[in-house]
Structure 1
Amino acid sequence: MRKFKFFTSFEKEEKWLGEMAKQAYKFTKKSFWYEFEPATTTDTTIKMDYRTFKKQEDFEDYCALFEDSGWEHITGTKRSGYQYFRKTNEKGNEDIFSDTVSKAGRYKRLSDMWMSLVSLLTPIFIVLVFTNSIDEEALLNPKLLYYTPGLWEKTGAEFWKAFLFETPFAFFRGFFWVLILMMIFLYLIFSIKANVQYQKTQRD
């Protein structure tokens, strides 16, 4: 079974995964969505970390450290950042973090990741602005983005075939900058939210 969800809070995501476990769904993988399979047990504790690694051996050492403490690595790669762990030892600690500083640190790393994406996309948007690649007239008259000769004189199936074929290209030509701008704002919001959570976790 697959489910699509998006979280900006590790605690809320952990809680949701725990609720899925209580419904006898075993969390197995995370990519663009969450993957589950039927489980025989409903008593499962799942915790998360956010960390990336340059070397595979460092990542493997990281996973082994948690396994020695009674936590099985469920999913996540050295580059994915998001790491998921399942408690396997009843006598182990209730959390994968031993102190507040470590627990808060995952939010700091997440905030830095979102901000790095903002820093990457902002210069691209600036270049589009200063090279006059943004066509303001297209916002008022999207027909300008369609280059098929005689498109608007066609009728019936001939029109719809040509229109639907070119629409993705027209959208890309005229509104790619809108997508970049939206991504910049979204990533900035995510970074701020993660930083707020970082500050809050430090105080708790």
Structure 2
Amino acid sequence: MKMFNMFFDIEKEEQWLNKQLQKGYRCTNISGLGIYTFKKTDNRYVMRLDYQDYLPKKKFKEYKAIYEDFGWTHVVRYRLGGKQYWQKVKDDQNEIFSDRQSKGNYYKRLMVYSFWLGMLCLFFSYSIYKDSGLYLTEGLWSMKGSLFWKALLFETPFVLLRSLPMLMVVFFGSSFYRAYRKYSILKEK
């Protein structure tokens, strides 16, 4: 079974994956595009997500070996950094070692990405809107009757596309704020 889902919160993704495990579907692969592949299973599994920055080949092998010694299976391998997906048959030891620190690193990186992508969209928005308004049809507001409505309805989809960068600024701003709050909470503990 394949499912598509996108997550910006590592905790929500882990909860969602564990709900799929409770339904009897074990995760076998996760693509970078958000496509999760599941396989029906009778065993009870648990899944944990860990966040690691870039690890050299030797350190990555050591990192994997430590977890595999405790029965964890690495579902997705990203040696260059990012989320690491670990799964194992459910028993009395279901937590991984670096949960808090790895989540802190994840939220820190998410803040940086959100900030710079938001700034890029803000710059792009400024360059679009600096010389004109949203509607570009000359004399649109002085038109009358059906001609006005036809011109307005024709141009509105283009206005929505032109306003997309500003909506992305709002999205990345809220993403930055949520990541900052979660990072602050983790630092306080």
With normalisation by structure 1, the TM-score equals 0.67
Other-structure match for 2:44: 42
Aligned residues: 175
RMSD: 3.6
Other-structure match for 1:106: 106
Other-structure match for 1:73: 74
Gaps of at least 5 residues in structure 2 are: 142-147
Is the 2:26–2:39 contact (alpha carbons within 8 Å) kept by the matching residues of 1? yes
How many angstroms apart in 1 are the aligned matches of 2:52 and 2:131? 38
Is the 1:63–1:73 contact (alpha carbons within 8 Å) kept by the matching residues of 2? no
Gaps of at least 5 residues in structure 1 are: 147-166
How many angstroms apart in 2 are the aligned matches of 1:48 and 1:113? 18
Is the 1:50–1:110 contact (alpha carbons within 8 Å) kept by the matching residues of 2? no
Other-structure match for 1:150: none
Secondary structure at 1:132's aligned position in 2?
coil
Give the alignment of 1:1-204 within 5 angstroms: 1-27=1-27, 28-30=29-31, 31-49=33-51, 51=53, 53=54, 58=55, 60-61=57-58, 63-70=60-67, 71-75=72-76, 77=78, 81-87=82-88, 94-97=95-98, 100-132=100-132, 134-135=134-135, 143=151, 146=154, 171=157, 173-204=158-189
* Residue 195 (structure 1) shift: 1.0
Is the 1:26–1:36 contact (alpha carbons within 8 Å) kept by the matching residues of 2? yes
Q: Which amino acid aligns with 2:34?
A: F
Percentage identity across paired residues of the two chains = 19
Deviations 1:14-56 (CA, angstroms, capped at 9, x unpaired): 12211211222111214234322223422223223264x5xxx
How many angstroms apart in 1 are the aligned matches of 2:77 and 2:160? 34
With normalisation by structure 2, the TM-score equals 0.71
Other-structure match for 1:159: none
